[in-house]
Structure 1
């Protein structure tokens, strides 16, 4: 190639600061709307969808069938990571985020319009599965794009905090979802059509998210990386380049992301287990989830600011250990008592652990890849963990605990084991990333 392509235009300092603020808020609002749709489905699956879409089964089989459709939503998440990762790494971070938002908002709203089994028979669960898979496809691309559009626009000393804005979106989505279900009358109202309301509200939220994301601008780091890609014809499609040059880093991202499954352990499995077999009132559990999500919203930026002061890696290690201590055993033991106060304590401790671990996860993973491959890089391993682990956790735990809900030792081991796996990935990730990044950039390795 002859000549040199012009460098991307440089922003002024005020414009750069304004873009960083817009990017952070765009990441936050968009992910809140995305996760609202995801949590609405999880809550509805635990409470009512089994009765409406799988009525021919026994009550336990109804629940398992509904949770199976929840798990199916994770199948396409890695596909979304690859598809939207390509768009985000090669074309536009902004375009990718707009597409994922429309896909999630549209599919969530469509679920709220579906006829039930009583109206159209087997077509009802089939349509439910299709829209659930579209939700998964959307989430597969949303998270990585939201993390990067915020963190890449931020100054160096605020990158973990900026990335955590996408993480704050998750508990806010949970707050919105739980609040809507709390405001609805329980019992027959939900079964008779009230369950549609939370899904249909997604259409309104979609318009709000689109207005904010249309104002986003591409950040300078991404524009420079895209220009380097255009000047280098040897570079492959991101997923192929990633698998060829960063195999161990991808593995570390997958391992470190396994503890994300804890949220589905609590919000889906434990919700059903506690209300169906342990005598916990649905309202009590939903109130605890709402308070816990508010607590996570407060703790997330605080933990991210701490990470910016030390390092993303150190913070990730420390906070994952905290999660291991306060999460798995207290949740199952205390919720299993059925005592209202202890149920609240167990759920809130789980939120504390998950909040600090999740707060720094995005900022840590973003340090592991060069900008040219970063969208696909952080998305693929994260979404594979969602597809292969998180989506199956409620179903596996429900099966392990037994029909009477008393076999809890196995699920405690499962929950704790996933956090230990995440700790191993975080401990190994940075060193592996340095070696593979140096090879990718053609920098000679110096052995000591």
Structure 2
């Protein structure tokens, strides 16, 4: 059996690597700002503005359902933008996703409510949420790869974590804006639009940074190698045929990403509506947690680069399982005041931060470069669509109208983290077997000179 080619020499350009890392960070921070703005609005105001005829519980469920709708098109975005990113250009794909997300977010800020245009308001809202989901589906994988592929071998996990760092920064920005807004009727009267409209300014900044990005040499070589091969199948078809078990491992390893929606959407709504926690207290706790994640993300990635990204991912997932799912709801429901809320949210952030910091770096080790954009995006976004998007809705249903039935929610949260641990444990060995078979089939389809020129662009991680 033909084995994957040995690693290529380090030809990375330090300046290009830094530019790629910061471009990935800035773009994902803006994308996640937009996404979290909607999540916060869904927890606080969307139900009252777009579903006013429903009772309070129905309003909450309807608002959280619109949040879930945003996840449905994420796998479609992974396929569409994965094709562009694997076959045409990583940079082009990232520019389109940024424009799509920013445009949809600004449009939500301008959207008339149910009171003004009736049932058309929630229908248009659902459409714009689906556009946001399409954008996120393509954004994450491209941002991870534009940074990691430009980095030297001993800094790939750290570079990939720059895209992960965009998530807490986006959360900090969105939470800060909502904290600055008035509460009560004033928020409902129009102030809620401000966070959405601010996305227009951030969009311009993101476009300026991303226009300066360059294609990575690793990707260019992989694209040339695929063009020389006899098979011209779309990346998603190659993945489903050649890497079925690896795709499953990516899906499972990504299940614990849903923890952010347990905390930032479900727990926010549950704590404010049923546990008498002040909105400002919970938002401030989220803000403080975001800074925890900003600090822990690069530290966790550096440790993974120093030792082993796979082993680090396993250890971090175990930490997440211990400190997050049960303490989060238990401490808040104990009703011991703001201190217990801050502790609960902080523990959740600690666990999620270290797990999420190295997830992208680990997933990039599982696929060859010419399929990597679609490869890491598809399973990750399917997990988001089928798991993360419905977590707030399912949790709100399980906890009951009075908010006291927390054990089923805790078990659900913990179970998803266990699935992530399973996917991580199996991922590397499964990937090695499927990559070896894929390399052998590709070698049989490619002229000898082309095979030699493409050496070294396979999975780059450690085990």
TM-score, reference length from structure 2: 0.92
Report the counterpart of residue 368 of structure 2 in structure 1: 370
2:410 corresponds, among 393, 409, 412, to: 412
Report the counterpart of residue 427 of structure 1 in structure 2: 425
The answer to whether structure 1 residue 132 and structure 2 residue 91 are counterparts is: no
Report the counterpart of residue 456 of structure 2 in structure 1: none
Q: When the two structures are aligned, how many residues end up with a matched partner? A: 434
Report the Cα offset of residue 231 of structure 1.
0.6
Per-residue deviation, residues 379-421 of structure 1 (Å, max 9, x unmatched): 0000000000000000000000000000011000000000000
1:178 corresponds, among 163, 175, 180, to: 175
The answer to whether structure 1 residue 150 and structure 2 residue 147 are counterparts is: yes
Q: Which runs of 5+ in 1 are unaligned?
A: 1-10
Q: Which runs of 5+ in 2 are unaligned?
A: 1-8, 444-463
Report the counterpart of residue 5 of structure 1 in structure 2: none
Please, which moves more after superposition, 114-123 or 228-237?
A: 228-237
Task: Give the Cα separation in 1 of the matches to 2:280 and 2:264.
Answer: 13
Report the counterpart of residue 313 of structure 1 in structure 2: 310
The answer to whether structure 1 residue 259 and structure 2 residue 256 are counterparts is: yes
Report the counterpart of residue 297 of structure 2 in structure 1: 300
Please, which moves more after superposition, 17-26 or 330-339?
A: 330-339
Report the counterpart of residue 333 of structure 1 in structure 2: 330
Report the Cα offset of residue 49 of structure 1.
0.6
Report the counterpart of residue 389 of structure 1 in structure 2: 387
The verdict on how the C-alpha distance between 1:412 and 1:12 changes in structure 2, with shifts beyond 3 A counting, is closer
Task: Give the Cα separation in 2 of the matches to 1:249 and 1:336.
Answer: 39
* Aligned residues of 1:235 and 1:241 also touching (Cα < 8 A): no
* Aligned residues of 2:98 and 2:135 also touching (Cα < 8 A): yes
The answer to whether structure 1 residue 442 and structure 2 residue 428 are counterparts is: no
Structure 1 vs Structure 2 CA RMSD: 1.4
Task: Give the Cα separation in 1 of the matches to 2:47 and 2:230.
Answer: 52
Report the Cα offset of residue 12 of structure 1.
11
Task: Give the Cα separation in 2 of the matches to 1:233 and 1:101.
Answer: 34
Secondary structure of residue in 1 paired with 2:254: helix
After TM superposition, where is structure 1 displaced by more than 4 Å over at least 4 residues in a row?
A: none
Secondary structure of residue in 1 paired with 2:18: helix
Task: Give the Cα separation in 2 of the matches to 1:17 and 1:406.
Answer: 53
Task: Give the Cα separation in 1 of the matches to 2:54 and 2:79.
Answer: 37
Secondary structure of residue in 2 paired with 1:57: coil
Report the counterpart of residue 347 of structure 2 in structure 1: 349
Task: Give the Cα separation in 2 of the matches to 1:23 and 1:336.
Answer: 44
TM-score, reference length from structure 1: 0.96
Report the Cα offset of residue 313 of structure 1.
0.4
Task: Give the Cα separation in 2 of the matches to 1:437 and 1:217.
Answer: 27
* Aligned residues of 1:328 and 1:350 also touching (Cα < 8 A): yes
Report the counterpart of residue 216 of structure 2 in structure 1: 219
Report the counterpart of residue 272 of structure 1 in structure 2: 269
Secondary structure of residue in 2 paired with 1:442: helix
